Amino acid sequence: MSCIEAQQDSVQIPLFVAGRDVSAPVEAQSATVRIERADVAFGTLFLCAGATAGDLCDAARFQWLDSAVVNAADPNPTRVGELRGVTGVVRSYMYDLGLSSQLTQRDPFVLDAARELEGFSVVLEGRADIEAREIPFRATIPIQQGDNAELGVPVVRSNVDDEFRRDVQADESGLVVRFDPAPWVQRAPLSQLVEDGSCSEGGPRVVCAQNMEQQCDRQGDVTSSQDCAAAGQVCLAGIGCADEALIAPDADEPLATIFRSLRNAIEAGARPAFEWGAPSP
What are the pLDDT digits (tens) for 242-251? 999 999 999 9
If you compute the radius of gyration of the chain from its CA atoms, what whole number of angstroms results? 23
The residue extents of the domains of the chain are 10-188+246-276, 195-236
Mean pLDDT of 100-115: 82
What is the structure's pLDDT at 2?
Answer: 39
What is the structure's pLDDT at 4?
Answer: 43
Mean pLDDT of 133-142: 97
- Which of 6-20, 56-70, 222-236, 249-263 has the least mean pLDDT? 56-70
Mean pLDDT of 2-19: 80
Mean pLDDT of 258-265: 96
Mean pLDDT of 155-167: 85
For residue 103, name the pLDDT band (cuts at 50, 70, 90): low
Rounded CA gap, 64 and 52, in Å?
18
Using alpha carbons, select from 218, 217, 199, 200 the residue that is nearest to residue 208. 199
With a cut of 80, say whether residue 53 has pLDDT above it. no
Query: Per residue in 185-216, pLDDT tens?
Result: 999 999 999 999 999 999 999 999 999 999 99
Kindly state the percentage of the chain with pLDDT values over 70.
91
